[in-house]
Amino acid sequence: MKGVIKALFSIIMIFLTVSFLPAQVKFAGYFSFEYLKSQPEGVYPEGTFENLFGGLALSGTISGQLTFLTEVQLKSQEAFSLRQAYLAFQGSNLFNFRFGLFEIPFGSYNRAARPSENLTVLRPLAFHFFPYRWNDLGICWEGNYSVFYYSSYVVNGLAAEQDGYLKTTVKDINKNKGVGGRLGLRFGEGFELGSSFYSGKYDSASSKNLQFEGLDLIWVTPEWEVRGEYIKAIYDHPFLNQKKEFDGYYLIVSMIIKRFRPYFSYQNSSVPQSVIDDQNAPPFNVFIETMVRKNRKALGFKWDITNNFFAKFEYDWNKEKDVVKKDNAFSVQLGFVF
């Protein structure tokens, strides 16, 4: 009930805001749901329709170079949430600023993780280290010069809950601010190589540090697209008085056949246990001392049936190191955008 009240309140505030703005306002939205079925030892042995997911975004120009964007999201099994709400000042190619709640520019997937924006049905294994569509409150500076594209930000920073899971907080829990950035190099129209980092204290005493390091690659031609990311988490364990490191990566290769996009993905990552719910698993837990190594081969396609309606099919071969599990799975996702 509280989620419904929040949703109604946010929608009312959005429309009230729009009515007082002299700007041109644009609406955009998305919706999707999935069918998931796994082998007996997987998460979905019986088969299930799940993960109803939708969002609404509102953007516009307030005056001159000052713009705004607001995005709300609703997902099954989760409370209604405000994903983005920021003012943006577009000064020049060198200086563009965002103030408020925004998605963190770490790698490429985090800022393009809506179902319509990526090929795979299941979230790649490496993206369980930080919260899904990781966002935070703060200031972000972005720009580009020649082949260099850069982002830097100062935010409240990720915090560990009482049970150790990382989360984004509305109010900073310590005096330390999370800082980070991304530097990308673009060669020609279709190739970009990027490096990202994040650092911040995750405890109220500002004594335990958390770092993320990442590399990302995008290569697009008229017939092919290649994307990949590598992520490493480095953190001070709260009890062991030592640093721990875990990492993961994924690579996806797809063909571009008009509206049809067959793809193959290879993923290898540390995960908290052999079998996890890819779409709903919580982010990284700082209490963890060891993790399981898992790899996945995924074969599937994305079909843009119309400009607004898409369908995906994926089959996943899962393999865990030193463990034999029958947890392969197939998934179907349907969605639309407007």
Burial 137-154 (b: 16+ CB within 10 A, else e): bbebbbbeeeeebbbebb
What is the CATH architecture assignment of 2-9+26-337? Beta Barrel (2.40)
Q: What is the pLDDT of residue 21?
A: 54
CA-wise closest residue to 178 among 192, 167, 165, 188: 167
Q: How many helices and strands (H and E) does the chain possess?
A: 1, 18
DSSP letter (8 states) at residue 175: S
Q: Which pLDDT score, from 0 to 100, does residue 14 have?
A: 53
User: What whole-number distance in Å separates Cα of residue 20 and Cα of residue 119?
Assistant: 39
Ranges of each domain in the chain? 2-9+26-337
Predicted pLDDT of residue 7 = 47
Residue type, 244: K
Can you give the C-alpha Rg of the chain in angstroms?
A: 20
Structure tokens at 210: 């958390």
pLDDT means per 10 residues in the chain (338 residues)? 48 51 79 96 94 93 92 83 94 94 96 93 91 95 96 97 91 94 92 98 95 97 96 95 95 97 97 85 90 95 97 96 88 96
**Paired residues of 54 in beta bridges:** 31, 74
Burial class (CB in 10 A: 0-12, 13-18, 19+), 309: middle
Asked if residue 164 lies in contact with residue 288, where contact means CB atoms within 8 angstroms, the answer is: yes
Half-sphere exposure of 83 (CA within 13 A, CB side): 23
Other residues' Cβ atoms within 10 Å of the Cβ of residue 323:
13
For residue 159, which phi and psi values (nearest 5 degrees)? -125, 150
Whole-angstrom distance, CA of residue 294 vs CA of residue 329: 14
Q: What sign results for the dihedral spanned by CA atoms 72, 74, 80, 81?
A: negative
Give the number of other CB atoms < 10 A from CB of residue 129: 24
Rounded to an integer, what distance in angstroms lies between the CA atom of residue 17 and that of residue 70? 11
> In terms of DSSP H, where are the helices of the chain?
2-20
